[in-house]
Structure 1
Amino acid sequence: MAISQPVIYTVSRLNTVVRLLLEQEMGLVWLTAEISNLVQHSSGHWYFTLKDQQAQIKAAMFKGQNRRVSFRPQNGQQILVQGQLSLYEARGDYQLIVEKMQPAGDGLLQMKLEALKTKLSAEGVFDSQRKRALPTQPKQVGIITSPTGAAVHDMLTILARRDPALPVILYPSAVQGESAAPALIKALETAWQRNECDVLIIGRGGGSLEDLWCFNDESVVRAIAASPIPIISAVGHETDVTLSDFAADLRAPTPSAAAELVSRDQQQQLHKVAQYQHRLQQAIQLRLQQYHLSWQQKFTQLNIQNPEFQLRQKIQKQDELQSRLERAMVQKMRQSRQQWEREHQRLQHQSPQQRLPLLTKQHSHLLQRLLAAIQNKQHTSEQTLSRLSSQLNALSPLQVLARGYSVTTNANGELIHNSHQVTEGEKLSIRLHEGTLLVTTEKVQPGS
């Protein structure tokens, strides 16, 4: 009997096989849980943990999907997500790749709404071919709404202002709560039996998804789709979309807009164009949703061969490496900062500025000594100058002149020492102690 050889896997091969089993067997799943450890990476991807009281699972939502999330998730928040089970092969982590995310309360209602929408769409309830055009000039308009709400007041005000001759009949009904759906159906049946209006407006003012839920009720939606009278759905604000909007012949963004659509004025042609535009948008939206459902089914089947998974794996690996690089850079910058501070302290310790006060003090002391030396030298020089001046004055010719002597010079400035140097009639200059005399010789007496 031959013994079969055991299959030996590598870690990488084993993780790949496990990932394929998870993705192939489970496909897309809905999960409600509490979000924790939320990391919004700089790349735009989200990484977080989904948990309940007994267990947890890691999850990732890439930026191509999280751009469509209409709220900002927070740690501790209860959410509803749709995603695909997978495995991050690099670490062997079992995880959920999230494609849709909603708050838990609205999310469950939204999931229920999407399921019913898919069902009715598949049955053709929303087909654009069965929708009818509104009468161009309605003879009488019926309104199905609460008689005490703000919506009926707005519609009646607009109708009275734009087309006061147009008759209006109100079919009162609850528009919120458990009794609203039967009341809406009863109001519709009353309008059909009386057959007194050629167009109906059904709707109410804005509110939460739960407040508007009666307009997503299957029986109400089917009744609107089966109405023999054309119906305009005018539920909530422009951003509020209900299944009644898809079933009606025309969706108005608000009750006030519905009143404008059925009233006649100078903008009638523009309203007609708007009606065609809304119908076209509804048809396109419905067709796109049908294509999207078909695409999702094919995508699930082909996901195993889709290279997107490898891209997601690489993205997660890249984000992980980037985080490690950022931490290493922070650590390196911290070490460099500490090294710089040590060098800075050493430099400050050896800085000339530390010695500057001492050198300044020494300079001040030497300057004082220099000034004292200069003053002493000046005093000594003044004494010497005074002594020499006295000696010089004692030898000065001026002192001799003061005793009665004089100095005689000729016209050339030469000193006259004896009479042989002078001729008769020559002009001489005689310098006295005070003043000078100019004389002319008359007779020269030769010296002996």
Structure 2
Amino acid sequence: MPSQTNQNIFTVSRLNAEVRLLLENEMGIVWLIGEISNFSAPVSGHWYFTLKDSRAQVKCAMFRGNNRRVTFKPTNGNQVIVKARLSLYEPRGDYQLIIESMQPEGDGRLQQEFEELKMKLAAEGLFAQTNKQTLPEHPKCVGVITSKTGAALHDILDVLKRRDPSLPVVIYPTTVQGDAAAIEIAQAIGRANSRNECDVLIVGRGGGSLEDLWCFNNEIVARTIAASQIPIISAVGHEIDVTIADFVADMRAPTPSAAAELVSRDNSHKEQAFVARQQKLMSAMRYYLSQQSKLSTSLTHRLERQHPSHQLQRQSQQLDELQLRLQRSMDHFIASRLQKVERQQYKLQLHSPVKRLNQQKSSLQYLEQKLLDAMDRKLLNTRHQLALAAEKLDTVSPLATLKRGYSITQNESGKVITKASDTKTGDTLVTRLSEGEIRSTVV
């Protein structure tokens, strides 16, 4: 019992590998429409993006060999239709789509609808050669289902008039382009069958774009052609244009003029029969090749799922993932180192002697200015005190006394005479006045 339990225990790697094989083998090819986001194109040449709608999203990978065939450059926001196979990226456990082809939504949607309807009707046997009716060898009346104003009708009538003017022609006019065209074409085929006045019908129109010819890719028209009791020749567009109506019809003509030649008689009716048989053979070959192409596609997909390139693609995707992680790690490491350097620079600036020197310089300038101011005040005070002292000195100065009318008398030796007894007759005295001096002799 324990051994059985151990056998049922999966490793994560084994589980992811089993799920990948299950997805790839069971789902097969899918068509998907969505909006591109998170688009990236690394140097490996592969594309990685997400397809999303309003409610969900799925990761996608389109490898270099496939994306080289894409005719436009995808960008975020593009609406696209892709053909893909479902897989799983084992290292992360993410399920993803491996894109094989990509088209813009408009053309891609129509092409997808064409392929889906073609596969559906082919599976039901509507294209089988055994279900096709033989064209009458000598038609008695030809019905034409097309636009009454189109060039195709004029081409058909010109050929019939030139080759077999006596052949009766009944025209069932209808629109051959637009939303209502498919219903009108089906009604015209039904009307021709109910009236039963023709033994062969030509259904078609001139050339145009895929949108112009789209009514001939309608399921209603295809089933109406298949149910017709009157043999129908499909003559839609040019030789390169292929529609669902061509596959369902009893005969396909490359152009409306060629359809008219198929139903008309002339001197080369043997050649006409040969052409008809050739067309029938080509139709059978196209159907056979279509079936073989589907089988080949199926086998190719099975082979691709086992191809070593898938392993290489997964490893390449893993390499891209590792490169992206390495780049993110390097960016984070560099960013953290830069932050550390910036912090160290900030700390260095906080302790830088330049700042202290600037502060000391500012302080010195302040003290120097303060000293100058103190010296100016001291000098001013000293000058003021000197002025006061000078004023006091001037007040007690002998010169000031002289100015008030007093005088000083000295003898010749310069001694100041303060009393009369200090002189004798005949002495010469000098009397100093405020202005000048007087010499006198004692008598």
Question: TM-score, with normalisation over the residues of structure 1?
Answer: 0.59
Residue 393 of structure 2: aligned partner? none
Q: How many Å apart are 1:285 and its aligned residue? A: 2.9
Q: How many Å apart are 1:90 and its aligned residue? A: 7.3
Change (3 A) 1:255 1:72: farther
Q: How many Å apart are 1:66 and its aligned residue? A: 6.8
Deviations 1:425-447 (A, max 9, x none): xxxxxxxxxxxxxxxxxxxxxxx
Residue 30 of structure 1: aligned partner? 31
Q: How many Å apart are 1:8 and its aligned residue? A: 7.7
Q: Secondary structure at the match of 2:176?
A: coil
Residue 52 of structure 1: aligned partner? 52
Matched, 1:124 2:125: yes
Q: How many Å apart are 1:217 and its aligned residue? A: 2.5
Change (3 A) 1:192 1:307: closer
* Residues 253-292 of structure 1: pairs in structure 2 closer than 5 A: 253-292=254-293
Residue 101 of structure 1: aligned partner? 102
Q: Secondary structure at the match of 2:194?
A: helix
- Rounded to whole Å, the distance in 2 between the matches of 1:90 and 1:291 is 38
Change (3 A) 1:85 1:205: same
Deviations 1:371-412 (A, max 9, x none): xxxxxxxxxxxxxxxxxxxxxxxxxxxxxxxxxxxxxxxxxx
Name which of structure 1's ranges 21-30 and 194-203 shifts more when overlaid on structure 2. Answer: 21-30
| Matched AA of 1:307 | Q
Deviations 1:193-238 (A, max 9, x none): 3333222100112233333232222232222112222110011222
* Residues 202-241 of structure 1: pairs in structure 2 closer than 5 A: 202-241=203-242
- For structure 2, the 5+ residue unaligned runs are 323-443
- For structure 1, the 5+ residue unaligned runs are 325-448
Change (3 A) 1:95 1:229: same
Deviations 1:181-203 (A, max 9, x none): 33222222332233332221001
Residue 161 of structure 2: aligned partner? 160
Change (3 A) 1:91 1:276: farther
Question: Contact 1:177–1:214 (CA<8 Å) still a contact in 2?
Answer: yes
Deviations 1:46-92 (A, max 9, x none): 6353433774623225647976x7x5454464321121122455787
Deviations 1:140-199 (A, max 9, x none): 221101101121122222222333333322111122233223322222233223333222
Question: Contact 1:18–1:87 (CA<8 Å) still a contact in 2?
Answer: yes
Deviations 1:298-340 (A, max 9, x none): 777x67x9521x3233256579989x9xxxxxxxxxxxxxxxx
Change (3 A) 1:158 1:316: farther
Question: Contact 1:89–1:313 (CA<8 Å) still a contact in 2?
Answer: no
Deviations 1:319-375 (A, max 9, x none): 9989x9xxxxxxxxxxxxxxxxxxxxxxxxxxxxxxxxxxxxxxxxxxxxxxxxxxx
Aligned length: 316
Change (3 A) 1:274 1:9: same
Matched, 1:144 2:142: no
Q: Secondary structure at the match of 1:30?
A: strand
Question: TM-score, with normalisation over the residues of structure 2?
Answer: 0.59
Deviations 1:85-106 (A, max 9, x none): 2245578775422234333123
Residue 341 of structure 1: aligned partner? none
* Residues 157-196 of structure 1: pairs in structure 2 closer than 5 A: 157-196=158-197
| Matched AA of 1:190 | R
Question: Contact 1:60–1:95 (CA<8 Å) still a contact in 2?
Answer: no
Q: Secondary structure at the match of 1:32?
A: strand
| Matched AA of 1:208 | S
Residue 310 of structure 2: aligned partner? 312
| Matched AA of 1:195 | N
- Rounded to whole Å, the distance in 1 between the matches of 2:318 and 2:49 is 16
- Rounded to whole Å, the distance in 2 between the matches of 1:74 and 1:161 is 53
- Rounded to whole Å, the distance in 1 between the matches of 2:139 and 2:259 is 13
Deviations 1:246-301 (A, max 9, x none): 1111011221221222223455444433333332233233234344555666777x
Question: Contact 2:91–2:318 (CA<8 Å) still a contact in 1?
Answer: no
- Rounded to whole Å, the distance in 2 between the matches of 1:246 and 1:64 is 30
Change (3 A) 1:73 1:257: farther
Q: In angstroms, what is the RMSD of aligned CA positions?
A: 3.9
Question: Contact 1:149–1:205 (CA<8 Å) still a contact in 2?
Answer: yes
Q: Secondary structure at the match of 2:287?
A: helix
- Rounded to whole Å, the distance in 1 between the matches of 2:314 and 2:267 is 59
Residue 371 of structure 1: aligned partner? none
Question: Contact 1:146–1:152 (CA<8 Å) still a contact in 2?
Answer: yes
Question: Contact 2:34–2:52 (CA<8 Å) still a contact in 1?
Answer: yes
